[in-house]
């Protein structure tokens, strides 16, 4: 499409701001529900606002700003006629927004007390009016108090992100105002409204803004590998600081990183860099390294036997080039970050497909080794004492035999443990049976005979039968009494219900009669007149 905004999420390439907002809200579970509710009726209402925005507020606001201010910055002439038409549509849209979409006492669109993606889209549309002259902007917005309050509510609900996203726009507002004053002082007239936007986003207040910007761009410094390494170290140490937590505003976080970076002894001879420069460079590093980590994981997952770490890197490099149509030039940053938790591989090199480990070549002195994937003239890798006395890695057959022996030993030990537990269980059962089978002594026999209850006589059995019959009869009688009590309650409730129905009918007749008596005879039809007389007779 050749336009912004646009996103790339995996294989999905998506344009149009409303479609992007809906996709992000639906695809990521971490997005809070009020931005794009799961309730279908609420979603439908949000869609109606977004569709209305396309054909009303957007052409009105964008058309007026473009034809009254921004045209010359884009190489277009000012068009007063088109600006007047866009102003009419903008005024009408603001009235609809004020009286329809923001009706009631709610803080946001559609009567909600929490913002949605519709609020974000419409607020951003109106925020571009900041580049207008203050009088012109107030003339458009001041009649619509609900709209002004809604803009402020949305700004507060999305802080500090609202001011961060519109930072360039707010600087452009100040720049426009200064240039208007300068143009008015030098050449008063209709041309004073033309604004030069070549320096929007710069912080310098020098009048020769275009020339200064060009000079600064000529002397823009590239980032070296040493600077990248210090920046990575600064970010890692600042974000993992156990004393000062990292849950603070972005500006304070990047000021700390900028101070760490500029105070590094290895960069003492280089000019200082602003925190904003560090933030931009880190964003680029992080984005490309994260993409390469995914490509490296893909290469590790497809790794075949015999491939070294250099081979895997070359495959990952090729995957990156094919996926993103550019070369990966930040290998040094990846090697700095690859062992951190956020950027570590999902498939460790030693445990990936094909097994194996990186081969090392020993030196003559025996206390250092080189990686086979590196240049022998490069810096050697120091080993600990345990690694110095390590044996050579086992071959494929030796490894398999070792695994079989270990598995056999484990199986034998498990069987022995299982046999031991079974023998213990059998021994316990045998002891219990012996205790049960021991002959009873004299005293135990006498106690057992005394415990045996004598058989009841015929009279005792008849008395027990009589008692059980009496208990059954008593239970039946109580059950009948409960049922009778329940029936009587139901009858009373039904009588009250009927009485209530009658009262309701009577009240209804009285209301009908009252309405008929309030009208003259000429206004009543023949049936209504008959009904009125009938109701009067019933009341009397």
Local confidence band at 468 (pLDDT 50, 70, 90 cut-offs): confident
Q: Are residues 152 and 229 in the same domain?
A: no
Q: Is the dihedral of CA 200, 204, 207, 210 positive or negative?
A: negative
- Whichever domain contains 58, its CATH number is 1.20.1050.10
Q: Are residues 42 and 141 in the same domain?
A: yes
Q: Are residues 135 and 233 in the same domain?
A: no
Q: Are residues 235 and 143 in the same domain?
A: no
Distance CA 217, CA 208 (A): 15
What pLDDT is recorded for position 69?
A: 80
Residue 182 has pLDDT above 80, yes or no: no
Contact 137, 68 (CB under 8 A): no
Q: Are residues 236 and 143 in the same domain?
A: no
What pLDDT is recorded for position 64?
A: 87
Residue 209 has pLDDT above 50, yes or no: no
**Six-digit token string for 25:** 């809200």
Residue 371 has pLDDT above 50, yes or no: no
Any domain includes 492: yes
Local confidence band at 23 (pLDDT 50, 70, 90 cut-offs): very high
Any domain includes 309: yes
What pLDDT is recorded for position 466?
A: 84
Q: Which of 346, 368, 383 is the last residue of a domain?
A: 346
Distance CA 155, CA 149 (A): 10
166 contact partners, CB below 8 Å, separation of at least 6: 127, 130
Q: Write down the mean pLDDT value for the chain.
A: 76
Q: Determine the angle formed by the axes of helices 117-127 and 40-55, rounding to 10 degrees.
A: 20
Residue 66 has pLDDT above 80, yes or no: yes
Residue 51 has pLDDT above 90, yes or no: yes
What pLDDT is recorded for position 169?
A: 78
What pLDDT is recorded for position 61?
A: 86
Q: Are residues 119 and 234 in the same domain?
A: no
Q: Which of 322, 346, 370 is the last residue of a domain?
A: 346
Could you read off the pLDDT of 213-270 as tens digits, one per residue? 444 444 568 888 888 898 888 888 887 765 555 556 667 888 888 888 888 888 878 8
Residue 436 has pLDDT above 60, yes or no: no
Domain that holds residue 506: 488-539
Closest C-alpha among 265, 266, 244 to residue 255 = 244
Local confidence band at 191 (pLDDT 50, 70, 90 cut-offs): very low
**Six-digit token string for 136:** 């012109």
Count of CA atoms in the C-beta half-sphere (13 A) of 167: 10
Any domain includes 113: yes
Q: In which order are the strands placed within the sheet that holds 360-362?
A: 360-362, 368-371, 381-382
Higher-pLDDT residue of 502 and 358 is 502
Any domain includes 375: no
Closest C-alpha among 221, 222, 225 to residue 332 = 225
Could you read off the pLDDT of 508-525 as tens digits, one per residue? 888 888 888 888 777 788
User: How confident is the model over 306-311, as a mean pLDDT?
Assistant: 84
Query: CB burial class (10 A; 0-12, 13-18, 19+) of residue 197?
Result: middle
Any domain includes 322: yes
What pLDDT is recorded for position 96?
A: 92
Q: Which of 158, 180, 198 is the last residue of a domain?
A: 158
Residue 281 has pLDDT above 60, yes or no: yes
Any domain includes 440: no
Q: Are residues 147 and 263 in the same domain?
A: no
When mean pLDDT is compared across 84-98, 191-205, 304-318, the lowest value belongs to: 191-205
Q: What are the helix (H) ranges across 438-457?
A: 442-451
Query: CB burial class (10 A; 0-12, 13-18, 19+) of residue 56?
Result: middle
Could you read off the pLDDT of 97-128 as tens digits, one per residue? 888 988 877 889 988 888 999 999 999 988 88
What pLDDT is recorded for position 21?
A: 93
Any domain includes 394: no
pTM equals 0.38
Q: Are residues 121 and 229 in the same domain?
A: no
Residue 335 has pLDDT above 90, yes or no: no
Total domains in the fold of the chain: 3
Closest C-alpha among 140, 118, 142 to residue 131 = 140
What pLDDT is recorded for position 118?
A: 92
Q: Are residues 134 and 50 in the same domain?
A: yes
Distance CA 136, CA 484 (A): 85
What pLDDT is recorded for position 351?
A: 47
415 contact partners, CB below 8 Å, separation of at least 6: none
Residue 47 has pLDDT above 90, yes or no: yes
Contact 292, 316 (CB under 8 A): yes
Any domain includes 318: yes
What pLDDT is recorded for position 444?
A: 59
């Amino acid at each position: 499409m050749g336009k912004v905004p646009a996103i790339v999420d995996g294989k999905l390439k998506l344009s149009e701001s409303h479609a992007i907002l809906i996709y992000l809200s639906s695809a990521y579970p971490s997005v809070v529900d009020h931005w794009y509710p799961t309730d279908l009726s609420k979603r439908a209402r949000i869609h109606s606002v977004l569709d209305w925005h396309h054909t009303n507020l957007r052409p009105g606001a964008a058309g007026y700003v473009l034809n009254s201010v921004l045209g010359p910055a884009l190489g277009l002439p000012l068009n007063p006629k088109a600006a007047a038409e866009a102003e009419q549509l903008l005024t009408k849209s603001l009235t609809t927004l004020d009286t329809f979409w923001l009706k009631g006492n709610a803080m946001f669109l559609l009567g909600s007390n929490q913002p949605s993606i519709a609020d974000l889209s419409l607020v951003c549309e109106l925020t571009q009016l900041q580049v207008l002259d203050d009088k012109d902007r107030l003339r458009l917005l001041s009649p619509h108090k609900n709209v002004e309050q809604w803009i402020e509510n949305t700004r507060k609900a999305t802080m500090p992100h609202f001011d961060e996203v519109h930072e360039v726009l707010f600087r452009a507002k100040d720049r426009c105002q200064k240039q208007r004053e300068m143009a008015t002082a030098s050449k008063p007239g209709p041309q004073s409204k033309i604004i030069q936007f070549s320096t929007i986003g710069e912080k310098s207040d020098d009048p020769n803004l275009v020339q200064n910007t060009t000079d600064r761009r000529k002397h823009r410094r590239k980032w070296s590998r040493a600077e990248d390494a210090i920046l990575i170290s600064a970010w890692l140490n600042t974000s993992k600081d156990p004393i000062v937590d990292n849950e603070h505003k972005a500006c304070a976080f990047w000021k700390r990183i900028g101070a760490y970076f500029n105070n590094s002894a290895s960069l003492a001879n280089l000019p200082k860099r602003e925190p904003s420069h560090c933030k931009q460079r880190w964003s680029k590093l992080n984005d490309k390294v994260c993409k390469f980590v995914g490509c490296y994981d893909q290469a590790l997952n497809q790794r075949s036997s015999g491939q070294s770490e250099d081979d895997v890197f070359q495959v990952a490099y090729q995957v990156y080039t094919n996926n993103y149509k550019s070369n990966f030039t930040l290998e040094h940053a990846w090697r700095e970050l690859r062992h951190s938790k956020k950027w570590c591989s999902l498939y460790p090199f030693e445990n990936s497909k094909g097994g194996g480990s990186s081969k090392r070549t020993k030196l003559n002195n025996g206390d250092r080794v080189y990686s086979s994937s590196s240049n022998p003239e490069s810096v050697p890798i120091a080993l600990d004492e345990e690694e110095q006395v390590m044996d050579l890695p086992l071959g494929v057959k030796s490894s398999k035999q070792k695994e079989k022996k270990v598995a056999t030993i484990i199986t034998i030990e498990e069987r022995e443990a299982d046999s031991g537990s079974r023998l213990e269980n059998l021994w316990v059962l045998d002891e219990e049976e012996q205790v049960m089978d021991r002959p009873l002594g004299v005293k135990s026999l006498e106690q057992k005979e005394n415990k045996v209850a004598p058989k009841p006589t015929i009279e005792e059995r008849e008395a027990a039968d009589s008692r059980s019959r009496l208990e059954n009869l008593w239970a039946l009688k109580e059950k009948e009494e409960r049922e009778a009590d329940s029936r009587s309650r139901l009858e009373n409730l039904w009588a009250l219900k009927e009485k209530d129905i009658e009262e309701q009918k009577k009240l209804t007749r009285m209301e009908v009669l009252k309405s008929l008596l309030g009208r003259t005879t000429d206004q009543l039809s023949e049936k209504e007149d008959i009904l009125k007389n009938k109701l009067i007779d019933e009341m009397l």
